[in-house]
Chain A
């Protein structure tokens, strides 16, 4: 909740009908928050990552929809690779320091998914293979395709962008006139509706299957300095941790699983106090191996 407010405090929009254009837009927000949201103060790291690849693309000039935007970016782009270095360095630094702590604590879209899952309906699990979707989203949709086409397709189809950017700007349009709604707008809304319905029946489906930022942080979680630990002498494998886990994992099977969003619910719910967490030196055995397990 606090993360949502920190990322979106530009309430002046309601009076001025102008999106924030101050220097904070040059900073990336560590969570998944659309910078087209009328209230957004910071840039989305995945939006900026795609733009960095699109900027390096030979097709950038010819396919981008806004010529004014292209001109402005080209003018600022004396070193086109600088945006890429800045954004990758930022995402990597957050990932290697905290793993997916951001996903569990300050991501507005993760917070929405947790809320929707509380609606009492029959619940569904998630096939294991679908978790690879977020890595595909990161490498192919957010990096490779923008480089090849010069267009940020992940942002254009992103359900968080539709919810936080497209819909509010349609309801409360800015002073700058926007293009007319067409079929592409309705495609975005359809994707959003599918994900919203899925969030009611499955725990955090977007984070687990399609979030490119979650994919980047997940890949760095085994190396991160913020670690989860399970004391195998105290753990009774009762399963309370999995019941309360927002991403449906058994923390005692792999304390530093790439899926773990470090929300620390398992730490709170564990009846024997076996789960601990904190910053520390990652041990050799914890990287790519299970750090702890249930008692034999």
Chain B
């Protein structure tokens, strides 16, 4: 019964966890870091070496 209840709640728990991670990451400046990776480091990973 407890296992069943846990299974029922798992998607909602995951949803809350991921939303919180996303918001925390954005508030701490994650967007800016992904932006920097996107415009600078993508040229580094082309592998023309």
Contacts and interface: CB of A to CB of B under 8 A. Distances in A.
B21 A89 contact: yes
A25 B33 CA distance: 10
A172 interface: no
A36 B46 CA distance: 7
B38 A82 contact: no
A65 B44 contact: yes
Contacts of A155: 45
A92 B18 contact: yes
A191 to B, nearest CB: 10
Contact of A89 (B19, B29, B39, B40): B19
B48 A85 contact: no
A162 B33 CA distance: 24
Interface residues of A, number: 77
A171 to B, nearest CB: 12
A176 B30 CA distance: 26
Given A76-B29, A85-B28, A86-B22, A35 B48 contact: no
Interface size class of B (residues with CB under 8 A): 35 or more
Interface string A11-30: 00000000111010111100
Given A26-B35, A77-B33, A86-B25, A225 B41 contact: no
A68 interface: yes
A178 B28 contact: no
Interface class of chain A by DSSP: helix
B34 A178 contact: no
B26 to A, nearest CB: 6
Contacts of B28: 79, 81-82, 85
A83 B37 contact: yes
A121 interface: no
B38 A25 contact: yes
Interface string A279-292: 00111100110000
A87 B32 CA distance: 12
A93 B31 CA distance: 16
B48 A89 contact: no
A144 B42 CA distance: 20
A39 B30 CA distance: 23
21 contacts: A48-B34, A66-B40, A68-B40, A69-B40, A72-B40, A76-B35, A79-B29, A82-B25, A82-B30, A85-B28, A86-B25, A86-B33, A87-B25, A87-B34, A92-B14, A93-B15, A96-B15, A165-B42, A179-B48, A187-B47, A223-B11
Given A85-B25, A225-B11, 14 more contacts: A40-B42, A47-B42, A51-B41, A72-B40, A73-B37, A80-B33, A93-B22, A156-B47, A165-B42, A166-B48, A185-B48, A225-B15, A284-B7, A287-B7
Interface of A: 19-21, 23, 25-28, 34-36, 40, 42-43, 47-48, 51-52, 55, 64-66, 68-69, 72-73, 76-90, 92-93, 95-97, 152, 155-157, 161-162, 165-166, 169-170, 174, 176, 178-182, 184-185, 187-188, 220, 223-225, 281-284, 287-288
